[in-house]
């Protein structure tokens, strides 16, 4: 029999969502009349914007005619899209970016899981706690995890606990680290980093010769002026940071699938022989070997996000979700609950009332208000005592959920 990759056996089973599903099933069996509202899942509910749909229809028609039909797309994206991204997301904000520093992909999840592959198996990896679980699991699969402890932390990874006292900003690692995943606006805490906060990380990475893997999947939700939308707003970041972005939450592409990763040409790693190696060249090699590109129709849809009409329509969708966030935040605050996030992010990180832990708060919300959140402890030990709610729901359901919580909690 073929030997398997034993590292898969050290993965924790996806306890969080299976346990939520189990508790929900038990509740629904006991209370079949209850209309449960889910504010736990990070998936959008608004349909694709009309400008995107029109562009995709036109692209389908092109695919239907011999003279405009297209086969395999370029592995790193059509230039019509990489150019738009470089010019509009970066160049227009005074952040020079070349189209060949933009790698279009089918998702931020894919990229954030795969990017570790271009680094040595022995690299030391740091993550924030709480954390988007993909960063941890992809490194565990690659053998960087080592054994998990009783709390589910892997001995081989460096965890940086985040707490409310520091605005959920992780402390700098107290040992050498080669790679660090930072996610801002943050899933799950909804926190953002200030320019000074981000500069602290860039300066640290330059000192340590470390690489920052900066997940900006929720960049479109930044509202407050001065809050960085890209790590490249910090001087020197092009030498130390890869940035990951996605159309999933900015334009409703969770089911359509399109994202991109920026690997600046200034960014280098070292080979075993001590040579400086371009990470842009390595990522290009990785993508062109293992990925065959995003469908033409989808890339045309993504390009429409940059048209005047498309940009206005997707901004309205983000505004809609942020209004949900305001409704949830103000509603829960009126009850005396402490709510973090929800100002520059679609996530609300709600402190459990005194005496309840994450799961206790989850159960109380489910049984009394028939509302489902996500227990913070599922994102790491430092998430204990919190519950994550999302602003991606329908308006009527969001309002009803908040009203029920107000009346019944």
Q: Which residues contact ligand PLP by CB under 6 A?
A: 42, 107-109, 112, 132, 183, 187, 215, 217, 246, 248, 254, 259
Closest CA to 211 of 268, 134, 145: 268
- Cα gap 386→339, rounded to integer Å: 9
CB of 254 to ligand PLP, least distance (A): 5
Task: Report the candidate in 230, 241, 288, 16 with the shortest Cα–Cα distance to residue 136.
Answer: 16
The residues, any chain, with a CB within 8 Å of residue 37's CB and separated by 6 or more, are 370, 371, 372, 393, 397, 400, 401, 404
CA pair distance 294, 242, nearest whole angstrom: 20
Q: Cβ of residue 207: shortest distance to ligand PLP, in angstroms?
A: 26
Residue the block writes with tokens 């592995």:
75
Query: Quick one: CA torsion of 348, 13, 291, 180, rounded to 10 degrees?
Result: 60
Smaller CB distance to ligand PLP: residue 178 or 219?
219
Residue with tokens 């271009």: 118
Q: Smallest distance, Å, CB 276 to ligand PLP? A: 29
Distance CA 100, CA 110 (A): 19
At its nearest, how many Å lie between ligand PLP and the CB of residue 122? Answer: 25
Nearer to ligand PLP, 55 or 259 (CB): 259
First-to-last alpha carbon distance for the chain, in angstroms, is: 55
Whichever of 279 and 345 has its CB closer to ligand PLP, that residue is: 345
What is the torsional sign of CA 216, 222, 225, 227?
Answer: negative
Nearer Cβ to ligand PLP (71/255): 255
Q: What is the smallest separation between the CB atom of 220 and ligand PLP, expressed in angstroms?
A: 12
**Contact of 51 with 307, CB cutoff 8 Å:** yes
Smallest gap from residue 312 Cβ to ligand PLP (A):
22
In angstroms, give the least distance from the CB of 34 to ligand PLP: 27
In sequence order, the 6+-apart residues with CB closer than 8 A to the CB of 24 are: 36, 366, 372
Residue 98, both tokens: 């070349």
Residue 149, judged by CB atoms within 10 A of its CB (0-12, 13-18, 19+), counts as exposed
Residue 42 or 380: the one with the smaller Cβ distance to ligand PLP is: 42
The helix/strand/coil state of 370 is: coil
- The minimum distance between CB 66 and ligand PLP, in angstroms, equals 33
Cβ-closest position to ligand PLP:
107
Give the DSSP letter of residue 101: G
Nearest to ligand PLP of 109, 153 (CB atom):
109
Cβ-based nearer residue to ligand PLP, 112 or 189 = 112
DSSP-derived secondary structure letter, 68: T
97 vs 213 by CB, closer to ligand PLP? 213
Q: How far apart are CB 134 and ligand PLP at their closest, in Å?
A: 7
Residue among 42 and 190 whose Cβ is closer to ligand PLP: 42
């Amino acid at each position: 029999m073929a030997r398997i990759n034993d590292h898969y056996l050290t993965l924790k089973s996806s306890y969080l969502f299976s346990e939520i599903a189990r508790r929900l099933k038990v509740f629904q069996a006991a209370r079949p009349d209850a209309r449960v509202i889910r504010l736990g899942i990070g998936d959008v509910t608004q349909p694709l914007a009309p400008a995107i749909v029109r562009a995709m229809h036109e692209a389908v028609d092109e695919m239907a005619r011999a003279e405009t039909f297209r086969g395999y797309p370029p592995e790193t994206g059509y230039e019509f899209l990489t150019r738009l991204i470089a010019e509009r997301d970066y160049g227009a904000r005074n952040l020079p970016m070349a189209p060949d520093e933009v790698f279009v992909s089918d998702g931020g999840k894919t990229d954030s899981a795969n990017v570790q592959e271009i680094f040595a198996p022995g690299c030391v990896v740091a993550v924030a706690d709480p954390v988007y679980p993909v960063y941890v699991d992809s490194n565990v699969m690659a053998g960087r995890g080592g054994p998990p402890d009783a709390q589910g932390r892997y001995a081989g990874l460096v965890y940086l606990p985040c707490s409310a006292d520091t605005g959920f900003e992780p402390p700098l690692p107290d040992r050498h680290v080669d790679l660090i995943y930072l996610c801002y606006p943050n899933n799950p805490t909804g926190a953002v980093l200030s320019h000074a906060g981000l500069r602290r990380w860039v300066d640290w990475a330059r000192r340590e010769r470390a690489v920052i893997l900066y997940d900006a999947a929720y960049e479109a939700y930044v509202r407050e002026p001065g809050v960085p939308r890209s790590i490249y707003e910090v001087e020197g970041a092009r030498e130390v940071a890869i940035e990951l972005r996605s159309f999933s939450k900015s334009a409703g592409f969770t089911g359509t699938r399109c994202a991109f990763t920026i690997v600046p040409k200034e960014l280098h790693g070292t080979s075993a022989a001590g040579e400086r190696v371009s990470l842009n060249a390595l990522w290009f090699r990785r993508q062109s070997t293992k990925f065959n590109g995003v469908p033409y129709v989808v890339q045309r849809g993504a390009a429409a996000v940059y048209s005047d009409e498309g940009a206005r329509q997707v901004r309205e969708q983000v505004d809609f979700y942020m209004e949900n966030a305001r409704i949830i935040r103000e509603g829960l605050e009126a009850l005396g609950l402490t709510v973090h996030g929800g100002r520059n992010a679609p996530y609300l990180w709600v402190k459990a009332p005194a005496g309840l832990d994450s799961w206790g708060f989850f159960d109380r919300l489910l049984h009394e208000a028939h509302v489902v959140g996500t227990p913070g402890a599922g994102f790491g030990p430092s998430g204990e005592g919190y519950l994550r709610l999302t602003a991606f729901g329908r308006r009527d359901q969001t309002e009803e959920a908040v009203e029920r919580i107000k009346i019944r909690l």
